[in-house]
A and B are shown apart, each in its own frame.
Chain A
Amino acid sequence: ILGGKPAKAGNFPWQALTAIHGRGGGALLGDRWILTAAHTILPKGAGGNNVSLEQLAEEANVFLGHTKVEELHKMGNHPVRRIFIHPDYDPKDDYNFNGDIALLELKHPVTLGPGVLPICLPDTTNTTFYMDGHVGYVSGFGVEKNFISNKLKYVSLPAVAREKCQSWLDSKKRGLPMIFSENMFCAGFLTVKRDTCQGDSGSVFTVLDTGSGRWVATGIVSWGIGCAEGYGFYTKILNYLDWIKGIVREE
């Protein structure tokens, strides 16, 4: 998290710290599901690594319940029973993060409390959260000023209109042919140094639904070109509600 603030205990009780292929983030759904980015489980450009999802589940580490990494580790790992990767996600396509969404089913339900609470999912009809300028908050244990953070940080970022996101992408001279699909949205600033960064992947972009008074996850930290050099790109959760509910209800 660049340009953010330290989170206090209980600010983002849904925040999960993952350690699957390096540091990542996630969000608690209900009392036994972790919503995260698919690329934290199957990184792009990993080559011919043919580890099965069962083995990845066995080896995955998930931590919940604190804002300090050291304390999180002390509180213990939450074992993973199964991993669900969205079928649209292609780990071999380096430039297309479409379907960058995954669910981890914990072996044991967690007991909720002040430090561990789930995030809500958006209403299927509510698209206002993605409108240009709608502010949301992202938390994470990712990199800040080239150092990986040992404490949870958060930053507020506005959602950005799709055309602005695409326009900015097109203007990038690096030549990375990144795909901006309809299943994504971007948020952040072009010049203000506030952004998410490596290590924040999988954490959720949340907004406060003033109608219900609840915090709602609208996006998942997915990709960007550098950090704080422009907009960040997020998986649009609204488009994956059916997939999420289908897995959670069946399991």
Chain B
Amino acid sequence: SSPVPRKLFGEIRSPGYPKPYPNNNISIWNIHVPKGYVVKLTFKYFDLEPSESCFYDYVKIKADKKNLGRYCGQLGSTTGNHPGRKEFVSKGNRMHLAFHSDFSNEDNGTVIPYRGFLAYYQAVDLDECDPNNAVEEEERPQCQHFCHNYVGGYFCSCRTGYQLQSDHHSCKVECSSELFTEASGYLSSPEYPQPYPEDLRCNYSIRLPKGLSIILKFLEPFEIDDHQQVHCPYDQLKIQARGRQIGEFCGTESPGSIETNSNEVDILFLTDESGFSRGWKIHYTSEKIRCPQPVPRDQFTIIRDLQPVYQFQDYFVVSCKTGYNLMEGNRKLLSFTAVCQADGTWHQSMPRCEIVNCGSPTDLTNGAFIYVNEPANNSYQSVITYQCNKPYYDIVTGTGGDSFTCSSEGTWVDQDGQVRIPTCLPVCGKPVSPITEVQR
């Protein structure tokens, strides 16, 4: 009897093989492969004395406390039980081989030299997760939730919200700090849609990069213990965004879809010591947080390429109609751009457009100006006309004439676009009261 070393493969030979085996021989082999494997045995060569029911010489194979057969004979012999190419596979990691030869191998006085056998065995991975591979009930892998086989072993894991216990098989609900960081995903009460366990203190946190807004969509069924008169006295589903509670839910009416406008959402699920409700499931998604639609403050403001929706990192450019200036307070702006920030606000508030004011026209020495149109002010498109103090002065203008208009650039310009104002020159030789000779 010789234990076979715990190898992954090997061969077993009858005594003296390939020479004929001796008489009166009992040889035992205990094949032992590492745990997580099973033994697979095949006979490369088998030549034993055939006999009815293998009464004389035989090889007996046992594994998992079961006989796998008793074999003898030769290939093609009518008596006996030749194993042929049969594969003998154990359920466990052991296999027992026993060889027995009687006192002679004569046949009608002729000694026939039966050679014996040559067998090969190998360790084959045991899929511990296949319940059909269990050796005995108590040895079956008892992964409570998920079983994962690998060569030479297996391990257990648990469903979301459960924690693998120290026995590496059982799972216990653990939902006190579940963290979700993907752009979208699913979360539900433990066991959903089966009734959730009691005494739960679950906390599901969704954390996404700034600038994203989380949208929660409740799926059906939605079922949390409630009360007709009192709001959520037994079990509560609380939803918080950036530390601020935005809702507390129970009952059977689904909250539907909730836009949180936040990149950080916490979902607290608290249950008492009893109940038989099926719980809840949420599909969360995210999108870039939105900013309020920009609205012009007055009718002279132009928002370029207005978009139907503005989201994080979007921007808009504002300008004014001709003759109007962009103003922020009392400050004139050359341009304006606002960017949608991560918190859903614009980084600058909308400016206003103020009509261009050219200021008071330059006074004309020895002359004056009058406003041509109404109202008489210095705003864009106002028109003035310069005049000289007649009859003592005459006006001398450029080619643009004596009328000046308040331009969009904030200057008074004549019809040629020039800013130079006319000049009043003295009128010579025109006395108001010339001498008049009467008597002749």
Contacts and interface: CB of A to CB of B under 8 A. Distances in A.
B431 to A, nearest CB: 5
Interface string B60-78: 0000000000000000000
Q: Which size class do B's interface residues fall under?
A: 10 to 19
B430 A30 contact: no
B251 to A, nearest CB: 94
Interface string A112-139: 1110011111000000000000000100
A10 B431 contact: yes
Contact of B431 (A11, A29, A31, A212): A11
B392 A11 contact: no
Contacts of A215: 428-431, 434
Contacts of B435: 7-8, 11-12, 137, 154
Nearest to B428: A120
B429 A10 contact: no
A13 B432 CA distance: 8
A56 to B, nearest CB: 26
Contacts of B426: 30-31, 112, 117-118
A10 B432 contact: yes
A92 to B, nearest CB: 34
Chain B contact residues: helix, strand, loop or mixed = loop
Interface in B34-87: none
A117 B430 contact: yes
A117 B431 CA distance: 7
A8 B393 CA distance: 22
A117 B426 CA distance: 8
Nearest to B435: A11
A167 interface: no
A47 B426 CA distance: 40
Nearest to A113: B392
Interface string A1-39: 000000111111110000000000000011100000000
Contacts of A137: 435
A107 interface: no
A5 to B, nearest CB: 8
Contacts of A164: none
A214 B433 contact: no
B433 A11 contact: yes
Contacts of A31: 366, 426
A209 B430 CA distance: 11
A57 interface: no
Interface in B390-440: 392-393, 425-435, 437
Interface string A165-197: 000000000000000000000000000000000
A14 B428 CA distance: 9
Contact of A214 (B389, B393, B428, B432): B428
Interface string A189-230: 000000000000000001011001111100000000000000
B193 to A, nearest CB: 101
Contacts of A213: 430
A112 B432 contact: no
A208 B429 CA distance: 8
A31 B389 CA distance: 13
Contact of B434 (A11, A209, A216): A11
A119 B429 contact: yes
B437 to A, nearest CB: 8
24 contacts: A9-B433, A10-B431, A10-B432, A10-B433, A11-B434, A13-B431, A14-B428, A31-B366, A31-B426, A117-B392, A117-B428, A117-B432, A118-B427, A118-B429, A119-B428, A119-B429, A156-B437, A206-B429, A208-B434, A214-B428, A214-B429, A214-B430, A215-B428, A215-B430
Interface of A: 7-14, 29-31, 111-114, 117-121, 137, 154, 156, 206, 208-209, 212-216
